[in-house]
Amino acid sequence: MKIRFTPEQEAFRAGCASWLQQQMEGPFADIRGIMSQTFRADRRLEWERVLGQARWSVIGWPEKYGGRDASLAEQVIFAEEYARSGAPGRVGHLGTELAGPTILHFGNDLQRERFLRPIAKGEEFWCQGYSEPNAGSDLSNVRTRARLEHGPNGPEWVIDGQKIWTSLAQFADWCFVVCRTEEGTKGPAGISYLLVPMKQKGVTVKPIRQITGDAEFNEVFFDGARTKAEYCVGNPGEGWKVAMGTLAFERGVSTLAQQMTFRNELERIVEAAKSNGAASDPLIRQRMAEAWVGLRIMRYSALRMLSRATTGSLGGEALTYKLHWASWRKKLGELAMDVAGAPGELCVGEGYELADLPYLYLFSRADTIYGGTNQIQRNIVAERALGLPKEARGDR
Amino acid sequence: MQFTFDEDQRLAAQSLRDLLDDLCTGADLRRAAEACDATSFTVACATRRDRIKELGFDAALVPEAQGGLGLRPVDLVLLAEEAGRAALPEPLVETAGVALPLLAALAAIDPRADAVLPAAIGGAGIALRWPDSDLVVGIDTADLVLTAESETSLALYSVDQFEWVARESVDPLRRLTQLRARAVEPITVSRDASIPSLWREARRCAAVFDAAQLIGLADRMNALAVAYSLERKQFGKAIGANQAVKHQLANVQIQIEFARPVVYSAAGSLGGSLSAPTDMDTRWLDARVAHAAIAARDAADLAARTAIQVHGAMGYSWELDLQFYAKRSWALSGLHGGRSAHFRSLHEALMQQRIELGPDQLFGRSLPRGA
Ligand SMILES: Cc1cc2nc3c(=O)[nH]c(=O)nc-3n(C[C@H](O)[C@H](O)[C@H](O)COP(=O)(O)OP(=O)(O)OC[C@H]3O[C@@H](n4cnc5c(N)ncnc54)[C@H](O)[C@@H]3O)c2cc1C
């Protein structure tokens, strides 16, 4: 078991740390430490482009697509340094961490050529069109449908239906849409994975406000929206496998490095507790210590998974990871609110602007919901890792 | 002590519940939350406010000799629960449970306060600013303000002696304001020797009534979650059919039902007229109040967490009324020093051996009167 980084890796760490520090203390100081996903969006999009130009956006990708061929360990190191620098959450993450890896893995050369470089450069942004009003945990219940049509622009998919909870759709140029392309099919069969341009007449985006007051997610309506026939990842009707592959990216590598963000959050809480006196309360002290313990567990688990992963992908333990961090983060949010105490009730600015700790509290309510709820994650661990019988559906 | 309420107590609670079922629905709350300023908020809530006044609960705890109903705190606890269940924006509980009884207690020792009391009982709004906070709820509808620099004095002002700025709360329905004094002329200020104990008792009442509101809030949130789990289908069946969902909801209800008697018995131990009951050690009383606050808060906390989870992404959206109840719970949970302060009270009571342990003590003595 190897849980130390090599001297080369440490040198790599120093390199990215100094670049990030320069950016965050210099040109992008105004967006340092922002927690909200949508605050100062235009500057955040600019930051994505700067990351892309400097080739720091998707370092794990092949060089020819704008990456650095970085190893898994290096990717984690970069992500750690990224968080340590106080750089804001990535508005481009749906492209860099979900759409991109999916296209790299499951796409064809034409799709890789068309889509990867603009993602890497921060020129095209993406959103995830999975959930629908009646397809949340039960994703295979999607009703959005697409049919092939031979029009004046050659063969095209014509898409009708509705997605919901689509994060960052308001900034997106493209959406990866899970939809039904074979009429009369049910469940995973007959689903395709289409790449659909957002800026077109047949696509309407309506923001949905969240309990935090932000509107990060949206309803997306497809009403005769179109995309080229060749923008189907995997074979038509076999998109379920691809969709699950994307989820593995969402729940896997990209979350390993979140710990540094979490560490920053815990640090903010500890600082606040020291300055407002909450730290003298034994109950709060104990919970801060427990949070630290949970964070270390995450770190060791991540290092363990990394040291086992030889092929650039993760093993079965990764299944448990989302469950662990999501539950931990939610508790961290509760600690934040208790540390803030009664003054935490107050907004700090016009229009429901929350201070960091209350924001963290509200924001962390979602951790155990998106990317597969805790209940669904437990089913996955029980069924896939432990081999327990599958839960019966109610209808089939 | 009997943990049952009498007919009058239940009827009073039912009458408030009926009224709020009618006039304090999720849609009403949303309208109020979306009111763009204080005036339109006041307009949005006017009918309900008037109807609540007509029920005449404001002076419930004011002694009969002073023109009130002469009821005891335990008589108000179910009403507070109903106010919580509805996430009532109006400060009914704050007025009837704390501010008006405090004014009446002041009036009993101070003639100038006594002169104002009839107006307050007659419906003039009264807001309370705790000595350790500069925030006030319900100033928009107040005519009088009770406040103090410290807990050794108590002053009464006309509201026009202050300027205030609205402070937005996490709870969009809590109309918080920060008061700033002008060249302030109090109607009266008292430094009577009994004032510190009045403040202490007022705090106990506030903590218990907030606990009762939290029970109501928790109950409402779990009811919403249960209803949604029956209605929402995934995998071809109601999500509530899954044991993982069912058990979460059952756990919440268990926690609520075990918190209820704790809150009721704490209310039963509070004395009338803001006087601590003479036959009870106040440290023991503080422990009961703290226990109620902790039990209710923990139930509301679990209820909110569970209800959001059971609603999935919907539970995370502003569009869902659940947020009003969840956010009110969070706001109330942090008051009176929050969970930590209440645990400190319990520790103190235990460490100083004022709570006597042992079966004969646990079940025999120190039981509250009244309920
Ligand atoms: C902040 C946020 C951002 C999001 N961003 C996106 C996005 O960009 N794109 C996108 O497609 N989606 C997005 N989502 C949606 C997310 O993927 C879904 O919320 C999630 O899959 C759950 O679906 P649901 O909300 O419909 O809940 P439901 O599936 O209706 O679940 C409701 C409750 O029932 C439970 N439940 C359901 N089935 C079972 C079962 N079989 N056993 C036990 N319990 C069960 C769930 O655990 C949950 O507690 C986002 C959600 C959030 C909160």
Ligand 1 center to B306 CA (angstroms): 14
Residues with Cβ within 8 Å of residue B217, at least 6 apart in sequence: B84, B85, B87, B300, B303, B325, B328, B329, B332
Please, which pLDDT band fits residue B368 given cuts at 50, 70 and 90?
A: very low
Give the pLDDT score at B369: 43
Chain A residues inside the 8 Å CB shell of B165: none
CA A367/CA A330 separation, integer angstroms:
7
Question: Is B316 close to ligand 1, i.e. is its CB under 6 Å away?
Answer: yes
ipTM of the complex in this document: 0.94
* CA-closest candidate to residue A254, choices A93, A127, A99: A93
Q: Is the pLDDT of residue B296 over 60?
A: yes
Chain A residues inside the 8 Å CB shell of B133: 342
Give the pLDDT score at A253: 61
Looking at CA atoms only, how far is residue B346 from chain A in angstroms?
Answer: 13
Secondary structure class of A144 (helix, strand, coil): coil
- Tens-level pLDDT at each residue, chain A (396 residues): 455 789 999 999 999 999 999 999 999 999 998 877 788 889 999 999 999 999 999 999 999 999 999 988 888 889 889 988 999 989 999 999 999 999 999 999 999 999 999 999 999 999 999 999 999 999 999 999 999 999 888 999 999 999 999 999 999 999 999 999 999 999 999 999 999 999 999 999 999 999 999 999 999 999 999 999 999 999 999 999 999 998 887 766 666 667 888 988 999 999 999 999 999 999 999 999 999 999 999 888 877 777 766 554 555 666 788 899 999 999 999 999 999 998 899 999 888 889 999 999 999 999 999 989 999 999 999 998 899 999 889 887
Ligand 1 center to A361 CA (angstroms): 19
Looking at CA atoms only, how far is residue B331 from chain A in angstroms?
Answer: 6
Largest CA distance in chain B: 70
Chain A residues inside the 8 Å CB shell of B318: 208-211, 213
**Percent over 90 (pLDDT), chain B:** 71
CA A328/CA A291 separation, integer angstroms:
7
Contacting B residues, span 47-76, partner chain A, CB-CB under 8 Å: none
| Interchain CB contact of B234 with A (< 8 Å) | yes
Spell out the SS3 assignment of chain B.
CCCCCCHHHHHHHHHHHHHHHHHCCHHHHHHHHHCCCHHHHHHHHHHHHHHHHHHCCCCCCCCHHHCCCCCCHHHHHHHHHHHHHCCCCCCHHHHHHHHHHHHHHHHHHCHHHHHHHHHHHCCCCEEECCCCCCEEECHHHCCEEEECCCCCCEEEEEHHHEEEEEECECCCCCCEEEEEECCCCCCEEECCCCHHHHHHHHHHHHHHHHHHHHHHHHHHHHHHHHHHHHHCEECCEEHHHCHHHHHHHHHHHHHHHHHHHHHHHHHHHCCHHHCCCCCCCHHHHHHHHHHHHHHHHHHHHHHHHHHHHHCHHHHHECCCCHHHHHHHHHHHHCCCCHHHHHHHHHHHHHHCCCCCCCHHHHHHCCCCCCC
Report CB contact under 8 Å: A375, B242: yes
Give the pLDDT score at B371: 38
In CATH, B195-361 is 1.20.140.10: yes
Report the residue of A132, A142, A166, A211 to disrupt the B interface, i.e. the one with the largest count of B CBs within 10 Å: A211
Report CB contact under 8 Å: A283, B339: yes
Nearest CA in chain A to B309: A369
Give the pLDDT score at A37: 76
Question: Is A166 close to ligand 1, i.e. is its CB under 6 Å away?
Answer: yes
* CA-closest candidate to residue B87, choices B336, B322, B334: B322
Please give the number of the atom of ligand 1 that sits closest to the Cα of B310. Answer: 49
| Interchain CB contact of B308 with A (< 8 Å) | yes
pTM listed for this prediction = 0.94
Nearest 10 degrees: CA dihedral of A285, A77, A84, A322?
-50
Pick the residue with more confidence: A214 or B280?
A214
The conformational region for residue B236 under phi > 0 = left, psi -120 to 50 = alpha, else beta, is left
Give the pLDDT score at A3: 59
Give the pLDDT score at A240: 97
**Domain annotation for chain A: domains and CATH numbers:** 7-91 (no CATH), 126-236 (2.40.110.10), 252-385 (1.20.140.10)
* CA-closest candidate to residue B220, choices B304, B105, B339: B304
Largest CA distance in chain A: 72
Q: Is the pLDDT of residue B276 over 70?
A: no
Domain-by-domain residue ranges, chain B?
195-361
Q: Among B168, B331, B344, whose Cβ lies nearest the Cβ of A352?
A: B168
Residues B337-363 pLDDT 10s: 889 999 999 988 888 765 566 665 655
Residues B184-228 pLDDT 10s: 789 999 999 999 999 999 999 999 999 999 999 999 999 999 999
Ligand 1 center to A15 CA (angstroms): 39
Q: Which helix (H) or strand (E) holds A43?
A: helix A41-53
Nearest CA in chain B to A378: B244
| Interchain CB contact of B258 with A (< 8 Å) | no
Residue whose CA is at the smallest distance from ligand 1 atom 36: B239
Kindly report the length of chain B: 371
Tokens representing A259?
A: 């710990």
Chain B residues inside the 8 Å CB shell of A368: 309
Give the pLDDT score at B363: 57
Edge-to-edge strand ranges of the sheet holding B154-158:
B126-128, B144-147, B154-158, B188-190
Q: Is the pLDDT of residue B365 over 70?
A: no
Contacting B residues, span 123-182, partner chain A, CB-CB under 8 Å: 133, 135, 167-172, 174, 176
CA B88/CA A313 separation, integer angstroms:
53
